[in-house]
Amino acid sequence: MIAEGLLYTKDHEWAKIEGSTATVGITDYAQQLMGELTYVELPAIGKEFRVHDEMAVVESSKSASDVYSPVTGKVVEVNSNLESKPELINDDCYGSGWICKLAITDANSVENLMNAKQYEEYLKGL
Amino acid sequence: MPFISNTPDQQKQMLAEISLTMDGLFADIPPELMCSTFNLPAGLSEQQVRNHLAELADKNSTNLICFLGGGFYDHFIPAAVYSIISRGEFYTSYTPYQPELSQGTLQAIYEYQSAICRLTAMEAANASLYDGGTAMYEAMMMTLRITGRNKVIIDDSVNPIYRVMIRSYTRNLNIELEQTHSADGLANRQQILQKIDDKTAAVILQNPNFFGCIDDFTDIANAAHQKGALLIVSCYPISLGILKTPGSMGADIVTGEGQSLGMPMSFGGPYLGFMATRMQYVRKMPGRIVGETKDRFDRRAFVLTLQAREQHIRRDKATSNICSNEALCALTALVYLSLLGKEGLKQTAQLCADKASYAYQRLTAIPKVKPHFRAKWFFNEFVLDLPSEAADVIARLIEKGFAAGFPLSRYYEGMENSMLISVTEKRTKQQIGMLAEALESVL
Amino acid sequence: MKLIFEKSINGRRGIQVTPSDVPTSINIKSEFLRQSSAELPQLSELDVIRHFTELSRRNFGVDTNFYPLGSCTMKYNPKVCERIASYPGFAHLHPLLPQLRMGGMLTQGALQMLYETDLLLREITGMAGFTMQPMAGAHGELTGIMIMAAYHRDRGNRKTTVLVPDSAHGTNPASAAIAGYKVVSVPSSERGVMDVNILRNFVNNEVAGIMLTCPNTLGLFETNIREICDLIHSVDGLTYYDGANLNAIVGKARPGDFGFDIVHLNLHKTFATPHGGGGPGAGPVGVKEKLLDYLPVSIVVKRNDGTYALEYDRPKSIGYIAPFYGNFAIILRAYVYILMLGKDGLKRVAENAVLNANYIREKLKKYFPLPYDDLCKHECVFSVSEKMLQNSIHAIDIAKALMDKGFHPPTVYFPAIVKEAMMIEPTETESKETLDAFIDAMIEIARLAETDPDKLKSAPITTPVSRPDETAAAKNLNIACL
């Protein structure tokens, strides 16, 4: 399932750009692959990331995957509900399962993200 | 052929059934890589090999009365320990990746983790590391991961063998190792507190320390925490029968050598590195961890958990590369602690302290033999100053039938006349008396 | 089953501690004492024996039945090795003895054993010298990479990466990363082996070395191994051999002859020391002549007068990676095993290990897909069929069904480059009857997987627990009973 109005990366992260803020999460494809999540390692508020830096980690009982930053920016908020309920990502990965919000510091970093249609095509080719 | 069940006829039959020859089985190896000239002896029978090894064993002296310690001790091992760990279901099994077939190992490790936590007053323990030295190194790496800093302070009252190991492991890593020099046998507060800053990841201390001296590190723990640094304490598990726990001092990670919990000294191994920490750091802890859960019929079950941090999943981003550890030794420790129990461990620790105190009195009563440190409290080891070179005195004590004690000059400058004496519950009043007489006679 | 703590009865005693025979009892200052005793169990010796006997009955070992865990070499552990390791002349030896003046003379038997084992392993692997210190395979890998780093530093080489195949065991990249290298994964060819032309794209001056096992984790021999090693050597890189799969070639071929500079062995695999439920093992590391200077100290040497001594004076050594001489009692067991097998016995090990694996491969390939249908060495890797997947039967279900047939399952989901991998390593100690029984069981399971999958979904039903909830374990994190 792919949500409209979001931008996507090849590593299955999504970003919702509102002004100069990006809300970030992982896609339905990714959460299905991971299985039931048991833990999310959230980034520290104030930490800066460039595009494709390792920003967070999602863990299931059998595997762990890095979540890469889709934009260049600074973390301004994290979804602390994930600390007690990592499964929010499985249940509602585009909504209440958001991971963190970044203040975009390099507007150009958004350029290489895919739109919903492009991501759909990309998934077909996997 | 030893240990191969199939007879030559059966092998021939199997080859025929799959249409291959013995040479054909190795046809994928280029002929120039096959080796025909292994210069190895012919095989021996069980009887021959037992004779040969008995001869080798006889070339080792084990009838010296042992007053050596330094982190590795001659403690009493109950016969029931061996009965249990020699059960084939325990020692011929492997890593419990299939929980349904390994509830024995898994529950035992869970109980071992629990026992270590209760002993050290910590909240989470792992299934084991190789030994006390690699455990200390892994703890140090853990604090670097947790704090993101790279400076570590270590006092020279910590086991010198472990300090050499840490230096070897960290030579090429970007880690600033600051060593402080112990003050009168105790961790040097003046130097340590002055060095702790906001680049410090951890302070590493030991209790009782290598000299046998007892301490309370609560003040250092507080100072470290104030600057966002962590405290690692390496400890001697038998001493925790009576001594203040590292947990109650404020330690963040506790490590140590578990050999004294039912394992023979065995000339260097296998040993048992234990590690325990606080729940908030559990995801940064290396090694295997067993957790309790339920199966699909709601029965209590145990499984390996938090595996996502380990090498087989995380690979180059793993918390450690450890795979096989010391599982059977962890089982040994659990069995030992269960046999001794709450009272037995306390009594054993008290005996060690009592006998060491008696030995101290007898030995320091010898003219010209003096205690090295003014620090009054020790557990089961203490340092004596002799009127001449300790290494030489020790050689002469060997001739008299004693392995007593350890010449500190090997690791500490300026201590050429000092030796470390260790006493466990196995030493009798008579043996201690004989040591005193022997020492007096060789001086 | 209750936890041992739950069986505790206040006041119950196990071992009777010998009363004190010294006149003084020391009262250590109360600030240094613990407030309350550690809450260890209070049980009688009988209670303890029964508890652990019950636990042992919930465990499965090589002594129980067939244990074909691929990549682990679950061969029979000779009981004479256990007996010898308990000889007081070995068990009661304090490790600090050789550090006393004249102390080396007190431990000549132990030093001789370590020395002779070094020589035997050199001959078996074609290497110039060994360190016995590493206490497990992964520990050996770290040691080997540290030696690699020391070599490059000494030569002023600027090296930043280590190459591993995508089929590598997880400890390989983990060890290289811990030693400070960046790890680059090289894709395998469609034949499942390393292709020299693919590898060439990854070899440059930054490459410190490559970590390989041969046969690889699919059980396939790397026929181009010499070329691969030469390619790495061409940039002054070093070649590292992960000895986990030595059982396939022991007594027939030597990694030193393939072109490997550094080798680690798993004594608890190839050399029959017991697995212990997860250790203790031992992972001695052997090197070629050009790397001898970097081996950890101490090393056992034989003096001109025939006595043995420990040598510490090696200025280029990487230092101490263990407190003493390695897991002595484990090395001792391997020494006994090698002496018993001798030259011929070791050769027969590889021959029968490879025969047993190919026997299983040929007999099962009609029932389970074989991703790489070539001659295998000591292990083979199967997958599940399309039909099985359509029935929602995965490798894990095959594994659980095998338990009800009395067998330990093979390794599943490794190597990751094979979907639904099932890696079977029978080892040479298994009999034809056992293999035939296993094959029959697998064929029956294959049939059920395709025609009556529900029967498999409920497996296992004969074990004390069934399909424990691992997700709940990771979320609840109940890892100690406090």
A39 shares contact with chain B (CB less than 8 Å): yes
Determine, yes or no, domain membership for B105. Answer: yes
Q: Does B371 share its domain with B300?
A: no
Confidence band of B171 (pLDDT split at 50, 70, 90): confident
How far, in whole angstroms, is CA A104 from its chain's centroid? 14
Count CB-CB contacts under 10 A for residue B169.
25
For the cut 90, the answer to whether the pLDDT of residue C453 exceeds it is: yes
**DSSP H helical segments within B176-326, as ranges?**
189-195, 218-226, 246-249, 311-314
Whole-number pLDDT of residue C183: 93
**H/E segment holding residue C455:** helix C453-457
Fill in the DSSP letter of residue C4.
G
Among chain A residues, the shortest Cα distance to C468 is held by A61
**H/E segment holding residue C241:** strand C238-242
Predicted TM-score (pTM) of this structure: 0.95
pLDDT tens per residue, range A23-47: 999 999 999 989 999 999 999 999 9
Whole-number pLDDT of residue C177: 87
Q: What are phi and psi of C142, to 5 degrees?
A: -60, -45
Given B289, B305, B335, which residue is the final one in a domain? B335
Residues of A in contact with B308 (CB under 8 A): 38-39, 59-64
Asked if the Cβ–Cβ distance from C51 to B338 is below 8 Å, we say yes
Whole-number pLDDT of residue C169: 85
Residues of B in contact with C399 (CB under 8 A): 98
Q: What is the mean pLDDT of chain C?
A: 95
Tokens of C303: 């003096």
Q: Does B294 share its domain with B179?
A: yes
CATH of the domain at B194: 3.40.640.10
Whole-number pLDDT of residue B62: 84
Tokens of B200: 């410090």
Determine, yes or no, domain membership for B32. Answer: no
For the cut 90, the answer to whether the pLDDT of residue A4 exceeds it is: no
Count CB-CB contacts under 10 A for residue C310.
18
Residues of B in contact with C45 (CB under 8 A): 78, 80, 339
Whole-number pLDDT of residue B255: 98
Residues of A in contact with B319 (CB under 8 A): none
Whole-number pLDDT of residue B374: 85
What is the pLDDT averaged over residues C395-415? 95
Among chain C residues, the shortest Cα distance to A35 is held by C471
What is the pLDDT averaged over residues C79-108? 95
What is the pLDDT averaged over residues C251-279? 96
Fill in the DSSP letter of residue C67.
-
For the cut 90, the answer to whether the pLDDT of residue C460 exceeds it is: yes
Which of B60, B312, B319 has the most C C-beta neighbours within 10 Å, making it the best mutation to test the interface with C? B60
**Domains: count for chain B:** 2
Tokens of B359: 């030995």
Residues of C in contact with B209 (CB under 8 A): none
Q: Does B290 share its domain with B358?
A: no
Residues B56 and C1: their CA atoms lie apart, in Å, by 45
Instruction: For strands B402-403 and B406-407, give the pairing.
Output: unpaired
Q: What is the mean pLDDT of chain A?
A: 92
SS3 A13: strand
Asked if the Cβ–Cβ distance from A86 to C474 is below 8 Å, we say no
- Estimate the crossing angle of helix C171-178 against helix C137-154, to 10 degrees: 40
Whole-number pLDDT of residue B307: 80
Determine, yes or no, domain membership for B113. Answer: yes
CA dihedral in degrees (C224, C230, C232, C236; nearest 10)? 170
Give every strand in the sheet of A37-41, ordered side by side. Answer: A37-41, A54-60, A64-68
pLDDT tens per residue, range B54-87: 999 999 998 999 999 999 999 999 999 999 999 9
Q: Find out whether B128 and B329 touch, Cβ atoms under 8 Å.
A: yes
Residues of C in contact with B20 (CB under 8 A): 358, 375
- Estimate the crossing angle of helix B8-17 against helix C432-451, to 10 degrees: 30
Asked if the Cβ–Cβ distance from B54 to C87 is below 8 Å, we say yes
Number of B–C residue contacts, CB under 8 Å:
685
pLDDT-above-90 percentage for chain B = 91
Closest to C66 measured CA to CA, from C482, C480, C403: C403
Among chain B residues, the shortest Cα distance to C102 is held by B395
Q: Find out whether C146 and C175 touch, Cβ atoms under 8 Å.
A: no
Confidence band of B173 (pLDDT split at 50, 70, 90): confident
Closest to B211 measured CA to CA, from B52, B79, B372, B346: B372
CATH of the domain at B418: 3.90.1150.10
Q: Find out whether B117 and B146 touch, Cβ atoms under 8 Å.
A: no
Residues C45 and C440: their CA atoms lie apart, in Å, by 44
SS3 B13: helix
Asked if the Cβ–Cβ distance from B326 to C279 is below 8 Å, we say yes
pLDDT tens per residue, range C27-52: 999 999 999 999 999 999 999 999 99
What is the pLDDT averaged over residues C193-203? 94
Residues B260 and B262: their CA atoms lie apart, in Å, by 6
The distance of C236 to chain B (nearest Cα, Å) reads 20
For the cut 90, the answer to whether the pLDDT of residue B395 exceeds it is: yes
Domain covering A7-106, topology? OB fold (Dihydrolipoamide Acetyltransferase, E2P) (2.40.50)
Instruction: For strands A64-68 and C262-264, give the pairing.
Output: unpaired
Neighbors of chain A by Cβ distance (3+ pairs < 8 Å): B, C
Fill in the DSSP letter of residue B31.
G
Whole-number pLDDT of residue C392: 95
Asked if the Cβ–Cβ distance from C470 to A61 is below 8 Å, we say yes
B365 shares contact with chain C (CB less than 8 Å): no
Long-range contacts of C294-299 (CB under 8 A, 24+ apart): C294/C147, C294/C150, C294/C151, C294/C154, C294/C318, C295/C129, C295/C130, C295/C131, C295/C147, C296/B168, C296/C131, C296/C133, C296/C143, C296/C320, C296/C321, C296/C322, C298/C325, C299/C129, C299/C131
Q: What DSSP assignment string belongs to B142-160?
A: HHHHHH---EEEEETTS-H
Q: How far apart are the first and last CA of chain A?
A: 15
Asked if the Cβ–Cβ distance from B307 to A41 is below 8 Å, we say no
A64 shares contact with chain B (CB less than 8 Å): yes
For the cut 90, the answer to whether the pLDDT of residue B43 exceeds it is: yes
Q: What DSSP assignment string belongs to C153-172?
A: HHTT----EEEEETT--THH
Neighbors of chain B by Cβ distance (3+ pairs < 8 Å): A, C
Determine, yes or no, domain membership for B21. Answer: no
Q: Does B354 share its domain with B323?
A: no
Whole-number pLDDT of residue C400: 97
Residues of C in contact with A36 (CB under 8 A): 471
Asked if the Cβ–Cβ distance from C135 to B269 is below 8 Å, we say yes
Residues of A in contact with B313 (CB under 8 A): 62-64
Whole-number pLDDT of residue B61: 92
Greatest Cα pair distance, chain B, in angstroms, is 84
**H/E segment holding residue C453:** helix C453-457
pLDDT tens per residue, range B196-236: 999 999 999 999 999 999 999 999 999 999 999 999 999 99
B79 shares contact with chain C (CB less than 8 Å): no
Whole-number pLDDT of residue C13: 94
Q: Does B381 share its domain with B411?
A: yes
Domain range holding B87? Answer: 79-335
Residues B100 and B328: their CA atoms lie apart, in Å, by 19
How far, in whole angstroms, is CA C453 from its chain's centroid? 35
Q: What are phi and psi of B45, to 5 degrees?
A: -80, 170
pLDDT tens per residue, range C305-341: 999 999 999 999 999 999 999 999 999 999 999 999 9
Which residues lie closer than 8 Å to B298 by C-beta, 6 or more apart?
Answer: none
One-letter amino acid identity for A119?
Y
One-letter amino acid identity for B150?
N
Closest to B8 measured CA to CA, from C416, B106, B16: B16
Asked if the Cβ–Cβ distance from A59 to B305 is below 8 Å, we say no
Residues C164 and B114: their CA atoms lie apart, in Å, by 38
Residues C253 and C250: their CA atoms lie apart, in Å, by 6
Determine, yes or no, domain membership for B59. Answer: no
Residues B355 and B422: their CA atoms lie apart, in Å, by 10
Asked if the Cβ–Cβ distance from B308 to A61 is below 8 Å, we say yes
A33 shares contact with chain B (CB less than 8 Å): no
Count CB-CB contacts under 10 A for residue C314.
16
Give every strand in the sheet of C380-382, ordered side by side. Answer: C380-382, C422-424, C411-412
The distance of A89 to chain C (nearest Cα, Å) reads 15
The distance of C94 to chain B (nearest Cα, Å) reads 5
pLDDT tens per residue, range B290-344: 999 999 999 999 999 988 777 677 777 777 877 778 999 999 999 999 999 999 9
Whole-number pLDDT of residue B376: 78
Q: What is the mean pLDDT of chain B?
A: 95
For the cut 90, the answer to whether the pLDDT of residue B143 exceeds it is: yes
Whole-number pLDDT of residue C416: 82
Fill in the DSSP letter of residue C180.
T
* Partners of residue A15 on adjacent β-strands: A7, A24
pLDDT tens per residue, range C135-176: 999 999 999 999 999 999 999 999 999 999 988 888 888 889
Confidence band of B369 (pLDDT split at 50, 70, 90): very high
Asked if the Cβ–Cβ distance from C24 to B361 is below 8 Å, we say yes
Determine, yes or no, domain membership for B118. Answer: yes
Q: Does B70 share its domain with B192?
A: no
Whole-number pLDDT of residue B37: 84
Count CB-CB contacts under 10 A for residue B232.
28
Closest to C427 measured CA to CA, from C363, C372, C349, C374: C349
Given B292, B317, B335, which residue is the final one in a domain? B335
Give the side-chain half-sphere CA count within 13 A for C475.
15
The distance of B237 to chain C (nearest Cα, Å) reads 11
Asked if the Cβ–Cβ distance from A64 to B308 is below 8 Å, we say yes
Burial class (CB within 10 angstroms; exposed 0-12, middle 13-18, buried 19+) of C41: buried
